[in-house]
Amino acid sequence: MVENDSDSILQDSKNEDIVFLVVGDPFGATTHTDLVLRARKKGIQYRVVHNASILNAVGCCGLQLYNFGETVSVVFWTDTWKPHSFYDKITANKSRGMHTLCLLDIKVKEQSIENLMRGKKVYEPPRFLTASLAAEQLLEIIQQKREKGEKDIVLAEDSLCVGLARVGADTQTLLACTLEQMTSVDLGPPLHSLVIPGYMHPLEMEMLKQFALNDSVIDMIETLERNSEHSQS
């Protein structure tokens, strides 16, 4: 309704208050900005009540919010559609020393191509992209770039990443490990996010050690700490 029939949300506003409740912050989605613009054009008064969002709650992993670059969306791949654009944005952030928050795809109330063609309103079961599958897709891109002989590949199997699941819930789970390790990790039920760190302050690294998968990851982070201290000395 919001994307295809937003005027129906506004049409009764002359006679009653309309409340539109969303998950996350209202302006985390462009369709919600469009709703505000439509209200303004119609002379409808509105009020926004801001809410917590993964865009700021991601700070729970210890990486400082002002060190994040462009947020990216990682989509479910299909056999015939495997976009790489999210990888390019991650590497652009990393080359500038910035962290990347990867928002993982959500498929809710989706129809199969067959049902769409037949005009059947039959919906597929909900699907939520996991941190492990997102890591698999990233590694597949990296491998393809190696096979093409591309140089300056800034991500690899042993690159550090952070998986986040159900942030803000009692069952919140945070895990720091390599991309390769993340492919075999089960963070449990959705929603998941994935973070690719850039340059890290010692305090950020100290926080990530609290969520390390194992001692080898702690050793890797401590090596990064020593290298950072050496480059600054």
Sequence ranges of the binding site: 25, 28, 53-54, 104, 167, 192
Alpha helices (runs of H) in the chain, residue ranges in sequence order: 7-10, 30-41, 54-57, 85-95, 113-118, 131-147, 179-182, 202-209, 215-232
DSSP secondary structure, 76-113, as one string: PP-SS----HHHHHHHHHHHTT-BEEEEEPEE-S---H
Distance CA 165, CA 197 (A): 17
Q: What DSSP element (H or E) covers 193? A: strand 192-196
Contact (CB, 8 A) for 116 and 97? no
Distance between start and end Cα atoms, the chain: 57
DSSP label of 192: E
Question: Is the N-terminal amide bond of 179 cis, ω within 30° of 0?
Answer: no
In which region does residue 149 sit, left (phi positive, over 0), alpha (psi from -120 to 50) or beta (all else)?
left
Return binding residues for S-adenosyl-L-methionine: 25, 28, 53-54, 104, 167, 192
Contacts of 206 (CB under 8 A, 6+ apart): 62
